[in-house]
Amino acid sequence: MRNNDTICAVSTPYGVGGIAVVRLSGPDAKRIAETFLKTSKGRAVTLADHKAKLCDFVHEGDLVDELVATYFATPHSYTGEDVVELSCHGSLYVQQALLQCLLDAGARLAEPGEFTLKAFLSGRLNLSQAEAVADLIDSRSRSAHDLAVSQFRGGYAQELETMRKELIDISALLELELDFSDEDLEFVNRDRLVHLVDTLSEKVQRLLDSFRLGNALKQGIPVAIIGRPNAGKSSLLNALLNDDRAIVSSIPGTTRDTIEETMTIDGMLFRFIDTAGLRESDDMLENIGFDRAIKSAKQAQVVLFVRAVDGDSDTIGEDIAFITSKCPMEDKHFFLVHSKCDLPHDMHEAGIYVSAKVGIGIEELKQAIVNAVKSDVDRQGDILLANSRHFEALAKVLSALSEVRKGLEVQLTQDLIAIDLRDALYHLGSITGSVSSDEVLSSVFSRFCIGK
Ligand SMILES: Nc1nc2c(ncn2[C@@H]2O[C@H](COP(=O)(O)OP(=O)(O)OP(=O)(O)O)[C@@H](O)[C@H]2O)c(=O)[nH]1
Ligand SMILES: [Mg+2]
């Protein structure tokens, strides 16, 4: 990507709308836009910083559209460069015609995320904030939105950056010691280094621990619905979604594959996963379904174990022992759901009683799931890691820090400690983009759509 180009793109989604916005950014943005802009009396328009102007967009004497042009002069714009936004009527023809005029006049089509990349390169956003912009655009629930906003505001990245700077100071001193290694001088107080490494490791570990939940909040919290064939799992899915999503029948083994559907409850996005009934079988397809059901349960944050009230209540313990042997529940919320409670029954076990058929207990079950996840969020406090790139970088930071710690314990020489320290610094810096490679940048920005 050439930095000095003036780029342009339609920034609103593809399609017809009330208005559409065509955006231009770069040193020639103002000049290119002004080539086409005229007053209603046909006079040339001069754009003024941070002012919106109603103008005619004229191409070879023909009016293309009457639109509002807004100019943001460098450096006070999204990208840090000169930016012109043309808010036109949202016809596909008008959008494409404007774009073509701008391209013919010397602008180049923007690549995905290039406006935000420019904002990063000009120092207006750090990498973590740029990623937060993408998350904000993607957010489908209040909790995903909250996560994105917190990351945009700085979140943990800022704190990590402060610690990184402290580490840089220390490693500079260590390198200095190296220069004087013949004289056996110690510039770095080893206790201070140990303390810093420990505090940082603790912080990083806490962030890593929060990833499972953070990621689930962003992508949708997985809720697996499992149980024996015919227990009423698919009926429960349909009742939760209030939609006729999965096939229901009295034939055991109706659901063979997993069925997944998302739903927002109380501002949180959930992914409900209906699974094939759990039973040993000679049927190969059914066995595949069984494996998938167990896999879904393993990946879930919440497991609903469904059991019909007209079944044999003596086997509940056995069933639960079976399922927990296949899928440990320590890090999950496990709910015993007694289904078909509209049928006559004399069961009084702990758990939640529901009837998909008449709609009993469905709201109560939803509330119980929401409360369980909320308690996880509260326990986690305000730091939540939701970005997988950060997760990988932080895992590397932690392992490098633990090497530094080991080195300090066995009084390794400065040069060897310095290597691990540099490694930790590199991965820490990659989070905010203080150090970044083209590869990292292109993987971050290719996630964006064109026009952002
Ligand atoms: N009376 C009553 N019947 C129900 C209820 N929920 C499900 N059923 C019946 O139970 C049978 C099985 O329901 P499904 O939802 O297909 O059960 P499943 O657990 O998905 O079954 P598999 O996919 O075969 O494992 C169907 O005949 C449903 O009509 C309920 O709340 N009350
Ligand atoms: Mg089913």
**Which atom in ligand 1 lies closest to the alpha carbon of residue 228?**
25
Residue 452 placed within a domain = no
Q: Is residue 2 part of a domain?
A: no
State residue 442's pLDDT score.
85
In a domain, 446, yes or no: no
pLDDT band at 172; cut points 50, 70, 90 = confident
Same domain flag for 420 and 317 = no
Q: Are residues 348 and 312 in the same domain?
A: yes
Q: 138-169: b or e for each residue (b if 16 or more CB lie within 10 Å)?
A: ebebebbbebbebbbeebbbeebbebbeebbe
Residues 392 and 246 in one domain: no
C-beta contacts of 124-127 below 8 A and 24+ residues apart:
124/75, 124/78, 124/79, 124/80, 126/157, 126/161, 126/432, 126/433, 126/434, 127/430, 127/431, 127/432, 127/433, 127/436, 127/440, 127/441, 127/444
**pLDDT confidence of residue 280:** 74
Q: Which residues line ligand 1 (CB under 6 A)?
A: 227, 229-235, 248-250, 252-255, 276-277, 339-340, 342-343, 355-357
- Claim to verify: residue 113 and residue 174 sit in the same structural domain: no
Taking 70 as the threshold, does the pLDDT of residue 14 lie above it?
Answer: yes
More confident residue, 391 or 192: 391
Last residue of a domain, one of 104, 126, 148: 126
Given this model, what pLDDT does residue 188 score? 78
Give the pLDDT of residue 366.
97
Tell whether the model's pLDDT for residue 281 goes beyond 90. no
Per-residue pLDDT tens over the stretch 286-307: 788 889 999 999 999 999 999 9
Q: Closest ligand 1 atom to the C-alpha of 252?
A: 24
* Cα-Cα-Cα-Cα dihedral sign, residues 35, 36, 40, 45: negative
The reply to whether 448 falls in a domain is: no
439 assigned to some structural domain? no
C-alpha of residue 314 to centroid of ligand 2, in Å = 23
Picking from 157, 185, 248, the residue whose alpha carbon sits closest to that of residue 434 is 157
- The domain boundary residue, chosen from 351, 380, 409: 380
In a domain, 365, yes or no: yes
- Element holding 66 (H helix, E strand): strand 62-72
| Range 314-331 average pLDDT | 90
As a whole number, mean pLDDT of residues 131-155 equals 91
Q: Are residues 122 and 148 in the same domain?
A: no
- Point out the domain boundary residue: 380, 402, 425: 380
Does 103 score more than 90 pLDDT?
yes
% of the chain residues with pLDDT over 90: 72
Which residue range is the domain that position 367 belongs to? 220-380
- Ion ligand 2: residues, CB within 5 A, are 233-234, 254-255
Q: Which of 225, 226, 230 to mutate to test the pocket of ligand 1 (most atoms within 8 A of CB)?
A: 230
- Span 92-118, mean pLDDT? 96
Same domain, 81 and 201: no
Ligand number nearest CA of 304 is 1
Q: What is the CATH number of the domain that holds 315?
A: 3.40.50.300
- 111 and 45 in a common domain: yes
- Look at ligand 1, atom 14, and give the residue with the nearest C-alpha: 232
Instruction: Give the mean pLDDT of 317-344.
Output: 93
Same domain, 234 and 171: no
Ligand 1: atom nearest CA of 247 is 16
**Going by C-beta distance under 8 Å and a sequence separation of 6 or more, which residues neighbour residue 316?**
307, 336, 349
Q: What is the CA(346)–ligand 2 centre distance, in A?
A: 25
- pLDDT for position 316: 87
Distance CA 86, CA 3 (A): 22
Q: Which of 345, 325, 313 is nearest to 336 (CA)?
A: 313
232 CB-near residues (< 8 Å, 6+ apart):
306, 308, 339, 340, 356
pLDDT digit string (tens) for 368-415? 999 999 999 888 877 889 999 999 999 999 999 999 999 989 988 888
Reported confidence tier of residue 276, pLDDT bands at 50, 70, 90 = very high
pLDDT at residue number 308: 94
pLDDT of residue 128: 93
Lowest-pLDDT range of 25-39, 305-319, 325-339: 305-319
- Asked whether residue 59 is assigned to any structural domain, the reply reads yes
pLDDT in tens, 334-379: 999 999 999 998 878 899 999 999 999 999 999 999 999 999 988 8
CATH of the domain at 14: 3.30.1360.120
What order do you get walking across the sheet with 302-308 strand by strand?
259-265, 268-274, 221-227, 302-308, 333-339, 352-353
| In the predicted structure, residue 185 carries a pLDDT above the cut 80 | no
- Could you read off the pLDDT of 28-63 as tens digits, one per residue? 999 999 999 999 999 999 999 999 999 999 999 999
In 3D, which of 405, 409, 441 has the Cα closest to residue 205? 405
Q: Check pLDDT > 80 for residue 92.
A: yes
For residue 340, give the nearest of 185, 235, 244, 192 by alpha carbon: 235
Residues 194 and 224 in one domain: no
391 in the same domain as 372 = no
Domain count, the chain: 3
- Band (pLDDT 50/70/90 cuts) for residue 2 is low
How many whole angstroms from 231 Cα to the centroid of ligand 1? 6
Give me the residue label for tokens 């043309």: 86
Q: How far is CA 428 from CA 167, 174, 201, in A?
A: 10, 18, 11
Nearest atom (ligand 1) to Cα of 238: 15
What tokens appear for 211 in the block? 């990833």
Asked if residue 263 and residue 229 are part of one domain, the reply reads: yes
DSSP summary character for residue 357: T
Mean local confidence (pLDDT), 8-24: 95
| Residue 438: inside a domain | no
Is residue 233 domain-shared with residue 210, that is, in the same domain?
no
